Amino acid sequence: MGRDVIIACDFSGKDEVMSFLDKFTDVKPFVKIGMELFYAEGPQIVRDIKARGHKIFLDLKLHDIPNTVKKSMAVLSRLDVDMTNLHASGTIAMMEAAIEGLTRPDGTRPILIAVTQLTSTSEERLKNDLLINETMENTVMHYAHNAKVAGLDGVVCSPLEAERVHDRCGKDFVTVTPGVRFADGDKGDQVRVMTPAEAKRIGSDYIVVGRPITAADDPVAAYKRCVNEFVD
Ligand code: C5P
């Protein structure tokens, strides 16, 4: 699996996302579609963007009983997405069922990655709300290892965790890292950030970049800058 830049298309509707993608004429970036756009437009948005030649990371973070996740993953697999995800807290049994559902009759399947703990969950909430008395780091690494045991391809994590995930789960275990900003850019609401060049140095496999590209004056130039720093 090669290193790549994934653009987070956090738009609320089809018109907005399509006019954004219209700007890309000579390159067809890997794009992430999240819950907001998917729930607004339904699965047709995936088919439409695929038909334009983009790879798609469908970020729906499934979490349910294994049988429901298996059947839902089969639907996403037929939509021909390239990457999708689930919550590792759904257990190893749920993750194994997800792989079964995703796998097509010819043995191929989209890349499947896990969310360990959401970065919005603090260590205090982990203890008080979820009754998890381990540290955040131990929890994240344990969940990443569970994903590996279940046969998943990798995890979404902070660029700052990517190195440790690779140490624990192996170099081939994919790390997909948001929280990327240009050295001279606005951090927005992200707290712990890395530049694309730093993310490359610490071994991220994919970076997920939203506003530094989508809100740029020249999104195509910003995308190409990311690719230059991270991939080339
Ligand atoms: O605009 P920005 O570059 O901050 O977008 C980052 C993308 O990655 C958003 O779609 C956000 O929801 C997602 N994400 C994140 N932090 C996580 C997990 C996902 O920023 N821990």
Nearest protein Cα to ligand 1, atom 2: 210
Whole-prediction pTM: 0.96
What pLDDT, in 10s, does the model give residues 115-163?
Answer: 999 988 999 999 999 999 999 999 999 999 999 999 999 999 988 899 9
Residue 1 has pLDDT above 80, yes or no: no
What six digits make up the tokens of 16? 């907005």
| Ligand 1 closest atom vs CA 214 | 1
Cα 123 to Cα 126, 128, 141, 157, 163, distances in angstroms: 5, 9, 14, 16, 21
The residue whose two tokens read 């008080």 is: 128
Q: Residue 64 is which amino acid?
A: D
Is the distance from the beta carbon of residue 119 to the nearest atom of ligand 1 less than 6 Å?
yes
pLDDT of 159 reads: 85
Cα 56 to Cα 29, 46, 52, 115, 191, distances in angstroms: 9, 8, 11, 17, 26
Q: Which pairing describes strands 56-62 and 83-87: parallel, antiparallel, or unpaired?
A: parallel
pLDDT of 65 reads: 98
Task: Give backbone dihedrals phi and psi of 174, rounded to 5 degrees, phi first.
Answer: -75, 135
The residue whose two tokens read 């290892």 is: 145
Pocket test for ligand 1, best of 5, 36, 208 (most atoms within 8 A of CB): 208
Task: Give backbone dihedrals phi and psi of 132, rounded to 5 degrees, phi first.
Answer: -100, 115
Report CA torsion sign: 138, 142, 148, 149. positive
What pLDDT, in 10s, does the model give residues 35-82?
Answer: 999 999 999 999 999 999 999 999 999 999 999 999 999 999 999 999
pLDDT of 2 reads: 80
Is the distance from the beta carbon of residue 156 to the nearest atom of ligand 1 less than 6 Å?
yes
pLDDT of 183 reads: 93
Half-sphere exposure of 69 (CA within 13 A, CB side): 24
DSSP letter (8 states) at residue 88: G
pLDDT of 109 reads: 98
Alpha helices in 6-65 (DSSP H): 14-21, 35-41, 44-51
Q: Which residues contact 109 (CB under 8 A, 6 or more apart)?
A: 77, 99, 102, 103
Catalytic residue numbers read 61
Pocket test for ligand 1, best of 5, 6, 7, 10 (most atoms within 8 A of CB): 10
Q: How far apart are CA 129 and CA 203, in angstroms?
A: 33
Burial of 94 (0-12, 13-18, 19+ CB in 10 A): buried
What six digits make up the tokens of 216? 């740029």
What pLDDT, in 10s, does the model give residues 176-230?
Answer: 999 999 999 888 887 778 999 999 999 999 999 999 999 999 999 999 999 999 9
| Ligand 1 closest atom vs CA 211 | 1
DSSP letter (8 states) at residue 172: T
